[in-house]
Structure 1
Amino acid sequence: MQRHVQSCANAPRYAPRLATMALFFVAGATYATWGIHIPTLRDRFALSPAWLSVAMFAVALGAIVAMQPVGKLIARLGSDKVVGVSAWCFAATTALLMLMPSFWLTLLVLIGFGVANAAYDVAMNAQAATVEAGGDKPIMSTLHGLFSVGGMVGASVGGVIISLGVPPWLHFVGMGVLIAITGVLARPRLIADPASAAAGGQQKHAHAGRLLWVIGFLAFLGLVAEGAMYDWTAIYLRDVAKSVTLASFGYATFSGGMAIGRFSGDALRARMGMLKLLSTSGIVGVAGIVLALAWPNPWAALFGFLLMGLGCANLVPIFFVAASRLPDMHAGEAIAAVARLAYVGMLLGPVLIGFVAQHAGLRLALGLVAVSIAWIAIDGSRVLKRALQPA
């Protein structure tokens, strides 16, 4: 009887955690659904590579533009309320993606999809920070791991759906319905954010804003490296390590390291602390990329990419948690600012690597990844320690 009463008492405590897990999983599955249907969009409108790039950039543009106002909205209304509203917007734009009769209307929907995705993403991360702050153990890394699992499930199920000949519009409408149902079920179980301490004065808020830029720059470096690894590992294995057969395993190995790192990250952060985990992650990441670059053997490179995945896995979760704990700033607004800079890094990383590779070779270009992660390993802990101390 006593055990039953205790489990009932614990149920409300775990409800926000489970609801937030569902939000992250569905977000990953939705983004994967869009990813696997990019060729569908190309074929539907007979797009050239340049115009297809415009379509993909429309999503990124919507997300980048939306993040700052979304952060302010979360600070005013709370992440729980913004999750509820943004879930409906995300569902609607997802459902409409393959229903537009022209490419120009599709571009408008893609921008809206990017805006809604950004609002949903920032709000669920702010809610995650609130849930973690009210619990007894870290959860942020696991949630980001569930986003990755959602992506893998979404891509796998989507591949089956495509092979069965299901119309793309029906696939996207189904995803929209799933987003809406998840939002409706999760919203009552989310918790209100703690009151913002921003009333501490303009000078304190400015101090927090400066620290936020520094954390955002570290997140930018981390996502430059992550974006470069996602886009260039296969080419490195094929062109530098001279292995066509193993080229496709570069992405998989790096992603596997990311998954392992994220699902173990919360336990490691609870044991080691945020600062030590950040430094250790940076060291592991640097060791991985240096191994791959110094010894361009395909198996050595794959092991290096695995280490890079382990090293990169917890960078963004740590930066989001650190931003959410900045004094005199609302967690949602802080996470939005960091996410915006991180997203720019994810977009610019592959392009920057390609530009340098064109003029100096891919090995030297990927050396920029080593520099980015080394900067985080050397300077990250000092910056976060300063950020989390009261002004």
Structure 2
Amino acid sequence: MSILNALSLSRRPATAFVVVGMFWGCFAAYVPVIKAQLGASDALFGTLLLGSATGLVSAMWLAPRADRLLGPRGMQVGAAMLAVAWLLPGQVTVPLLFAVTMAFVGLASGLLDVVMNARVSELEARHNRPLMNANHAMFSVAYACGALVVGFAREAGLPPLPVFAGFGVIAVLALPLMRMDVTYVAAEDGYAGKYPLWPIVICGAIVLVAFMSEATVEAWSALHVERTLGGGAAEGALGPAMLGLTMAVGRFSGQAVAERLREIPVVIGASIISAVGAVIAALAATPLMAYVGFGILGLGVSVIGPMGLALVGKLVAPHLRTEAISRTAVIGFSGFFFAPMLMGLLSDAFGLRMAFLAVAVLLLSVVPAAIFAKRLPVR
């Protein structure tokens, strides 16, 4: 019941999370098709995905200003931009042009991401209860649904464009639900606090690891199932779908857990669980075993990013909340900048199995960062 109530309180940003999730799930399941039509190696494809990360990070630096300018329509503008931007990458066969189109995708996705997370943080402060996990769970549900739809579409021989266009229609129809008044908070009288650098850096590092790991599985799980384990197109699409479904379960569970436990112990436990999942996926002998690994990884990693973003909202002064979340998101979402490139290089040099083992090591690095964050004072 607490989950339903949380979604009711934050239904407007939750709609934006659904829009972002369904597009990225669609893309993840179409990765083998898009990669093949580009004729790109693992290393080159990973490098081309830097285009989306470049746009994403650029948008997040601009997001606080755009948020103030757009006001209640911030999420609507971001969602409309995203629907248009996703029409481009699936049609491109020239690698450099693909990177450019993905930069537009990253720009739109980054703007919407910062604004919708800031709106959730505002609602958390207003209602004095955690809401971040429930909203990120809606992203995961939409992500899984998008990947499953593409699994059927690929089996039917549909190219990317009509599927992305269909999701674009859904996004446009949902625009009225994303209008939300913004709460502007002035600095407290006599506020003389320093800029909250350490909360942003530490929480950003935690979110960075979570999103790097998530981006790795999103972009490469279908290829791992199809190429390493010999699965078909539908079996490959089940890789990112399994991640999305288990991340949804983990985040809905995390919503209930967050109302009973503090963020730090949950983040530490989740990093260990997700590392185990990455090892299982790396060593899998069959697609089914890989799904189990992706599922365990999804359950664990699902709560790390949302709790990192929620934590920074508690560690800074209210009037700095949107900016702090934006800066933390810049650090965190730069994971989408590093992960595809590093995964491609590791895969080319050592194979996808070793690349997924590297993800397990990365996830364990969250533990010392979380311990350090525990020493920071809560505002």
Q: What is the TM-score when the length of structure 1 is the normalising length?
A: 0.74
Question: Is the counterpart of residue 18 in structure 1 residue 11 in structure 2?
Answer: yes
Alignment of 1:100-111 (within 5 A): 110-111=102-103
- TM-fit CA distance, 1:315: 0.5
Q: Structure 1 residues 29, 225: closer, same or farther in 2, change over 3 A?
A: closer
Q: Please say if residues 80 and 193 of structure 1, whose CA atoms lie closer than 8 Å, have aligned partners that are also in contact.
A: no
1:317: which partner in 2? Answer: 306
Aligned to 2:324: 334
Letter aligned with residue 348 of structure 1: F
Residue from 134, 143, 162 that aligns with 2:135: 143
Asked if the contact 1:79/1:124 (under 8 Å) is kept, the reply is: no
| Structure 1 residue corresponding to 2:251, chosen from 256, 262, 274 | 262
State whether structure 2 residue 55 is matched by structure 1 residue 67.
no
In 1: Cα distance, 2:243 partner to 2:222 partner: 10
The answer for the alignment partner of 1:179 in structure 2 is: 171
CA 201–221 in structure 1, closer or farther in 2 if over 3 Å, else same: same
Task: Check 1:203–1:183 CA distance in 2 against 1; reply closer, same or farther (3 A cut).
Answer: same
Whether the 8 Å CA contact 2:144–2:242 is kept in 1: the answer is no
Q: Pick the aligned partner of 1:277 from 261, 266, 278.
A: 266
Cα deviation, residue 344, structure 1: 2.2
- Helix, strand or coil: the match of 1:370? helix
CA distance in 2 between partners of 1:105 and 1:350 (Å): 17
AA partner of residue 212 (structure 2): V
Deviation at 1:123, TM superposition (A): 0.8
- Cα shift at 1:321: 0.7
**Matched ranges for 1:82-231 at <5 A:** 82-94=74-86, 110-135=102-127, 137-158=129-150, 171-187=163-179, 190-197=180-187, 204-205=194-195, 208-230=196-218
Report the Cα distance in structure 1 between the residues aligned to 2:121 and 2:141, rounded to whole angstroms. Answer: 20
Find the residue that maps to 2:130 and give its secondary structure.
coil
Deviations 1:171-223 (A, max 9, x none): 54444343233222330xx2423515488667612xx0232122212222223
Instruction: Quickly say closer, same or farther: Cα 1:77–1:288, change in 2 above 3 A.
Output: same
Deviation by residue 1:15-47 (Cα, 9 ceiling, x = unmatched): 65222222211221233344556677678xx64
CA deviation digits over 1:212-259, x for unaligned, max 9?
Answer: 1222122222233333444566777899xx965699576555444323
Counterpart code for 2:206? L
Describe the SS at the equivalent of 2:127: coil
Distance, in Å, in 1 between the alignment partners of 2:23 and 2:174 is 12
Tell me by how many angstroms 1:360 deviates: 6.4
Unaligned stretches of 5+ residues in structure 1: 1-11
TM-score normalised to structure 2 length: 0.76
SS at match of 1:87: helix
1:72/1:333 contact within 8 Å kept: no
Bigger mean CA deviation after superposition, 339-348 or 301-310? 301-310
Structure 2 counterpart of 1:327, one-letter code: V
Deviation of the 1:265 alpha carbon:
0.7
CA 1:83/1:354 → structure 2, altered by over 3 Å: closer, same or farther? closer
Structure of higher CA gyration radius: 1
Deviates more, 1:47-56 or 1:280-289: 47-56
Question: Partner letter of residue 221 of structure 1?
Answer: V
Is the CA contact (8 Å cut-off) linking 2:316 and 2:324 kept in structure 1? no
- Residue 68 of structure 1 deviates from its aligned partner by 0.6
Structure 1 residue 128, shift from structure 2 partner: 1.5
RMSD: 4.3
Rounded to whole Å, the distance in 2 between the matches of 1:87 and 1:228 is 24
Supply the distance in 1 between the matched residues of 2:324 and 2:72 (Cα, whole angstroms).
16
Gaps of 5+ in 2: none
Q: CA 1:164–1:199 in structure 2 vs 1: closer, same or farther (change >3 Å)? A: farther
Work out the percentage of aligned pairs sharing the same amino acid: 25
CA shift for structure 1 position 269: 1.0
For 2:315, the aligned partner's letter is: L
Aligned mates of 2:347, 2:160 — CA distance in 1: 37
1:48 to 26, 35, 39: 39
Residues 365 and 13 of structure 1: is their aligned pair in 2 closer, same or farther, counting only changes over 3 Å?
A: closer
The answer to whether structure 1 residue 382 and structure 2 residue 375 are counterparts is no
Alpha-carbon distance change, 49 to 336 in structure 1, aligned in 2, over 3 angstroms? same
